[in-house]
Copies of this chain bind each other. A is one copy, B any other.
Amino acid sequence: MMTLKRLLLVSNSTLHGGGYLEHCQDQIQKFLGEQVKRVLFIPYALHDRDEYAKTARQKFESLGYALDSIHEAADPVDAVLKSEAIFIGGGNTFRLLKALYDNNLIPVIRKKVVEDGIPYIGSSAGTNIATISICTTNDMPIVYPPSLQALGLVPFNINPHYLDPDVNSKHMGETREQRIRQYHEELDTPPVLALREGCMLLVEGDKATLLGVTKARLFLRGKSPTEHEPEQDFSFLLNQ
């Protein structure tokens, strides 16, 4: 039987004025459906894993799903191998990636998602980590992972929490767009899909769709960036 890769890659965990995962809870419920009973949570991006698991558990239980946090499992690899669905939350992307490598989780998560077709939900750093690399994270390199290569569940980069330039700002640090352009000055760099807070990318097999309430900005190396409305079909990004 052919399995389909299934991903829900959310820009941000919390939208201004709302609660944790509130702005994407309908999409999460629809995505996981009624077959999934338990979600495996990976809290590595934040320092306080107990507290983080508590927050995530509360939310997923309210949506009708049990949640196991991988940091409470005796064997993290085994926990992934037995999982029905995976959710990786936000925080610091370098810390998250290093912990995934340290626990030998990169190949098993890939196997479960790509070969077995279990649903993967990422938010913020958990979205960065699902892509080809963490080269377009907004986070500080607080630790040194053995590589910038990430799970590679999609063959492009995402910039979560994408921020438009503030025209009134007197700050002279690079804008987000300038930073992404610097990435594309490097050779052979893949597309960067910039997800503003409030939107997310749904991948079902070879189909990718923008969901949510904000627009996305797409950066292709050597081209001008383009704006895309919710419901935009981004399937072409899956075939690089």
B186 close to A142 (CB less than 8 A) = yes
Smallest beta-carbon distance A173→chain B, Å:
4
Q: Pick out which of these stretches binds chain B: A113-121, A143-151, A228-236.
A: A143-151
Is A12 interfacial (CB-CB < 8 Å)?
A: yes
Residues of B within 8 A of A92 (CB): 179, 182
**A172 and B135: CB pair below 8 A?**
no
Does A171 interact with chain B (Cβ within 8 Å)?
A: yes
Check A134 for interface membership: any CB of B closer than 8 A. yes
A180: nearest residue on chain B (CB-CB)?
B140
Q: Is A170 an interface residue (CB 8 A)?
A: yes
CA–CA, A173 and B182, complex, Å: 21
Q: Which of B91, B137, B172 contacts A14 (CB 8 A)?
A: B172
1/0 per position for A52-87, CB-CB distance to B under 8 A?
000000000000000000000000000000000000
**Helix, strand, loop or mixed for chain A's interface?**
loop
**A123 CB, nearest partner CB in chain B, Å:** 11
Q: How large is the interface on A (under 10, 10 to 19, 20 to 34, 35 or more residues)?
A: 35 or more
What is the total number of copies of this protein in its complex?
2
Docked complex Cα distance between A138 and B95 (Å): 16
Chain B residues contacting A140 (CB-CB under 8 Å) are 135-138, 179-180, 182-183
Shortest beta-carbon distance from A63 to chain B in Å: 20
- Residues of B near A197 (CB, < 8 A) are 171-173
- A102 on the interface (CB 8 Å rule)? no
| Complex: A189 Cα to B137 Cα, angstroms | 21
Residues of A159-185 contacting chain B, CB below 8 A: 161, 163, 170-174, 179-180, 182-183, 185
Closest to A124 in B: B173
Q: How far is the CA of A109 from the CA of B58 in the complex (A)?
A: 53
- Of the candidates B17, B94, B148, B171, the one whose C-beta lies within 8 Å of that of A16 is B171
Q: Is A47 within 8 A of B185, CB to CB?
A: yes
A51 close to B (CB within 8 Å): no
* Interface residues, chain A, with chain B CB atoms under 8 Å away: 12-17, 47, 91-92, 94-95, 134-144, 147-148, 161, 163, 170-174, 179-180, 182-183, 185-186, 189, 197
A–B pairs, 9, beta carbons within 8 Å: A16-B170, A91-B182, A134-B141, A135-B143, A140-B182, A141-B141, A142-B183, A171-B197, A173-B197
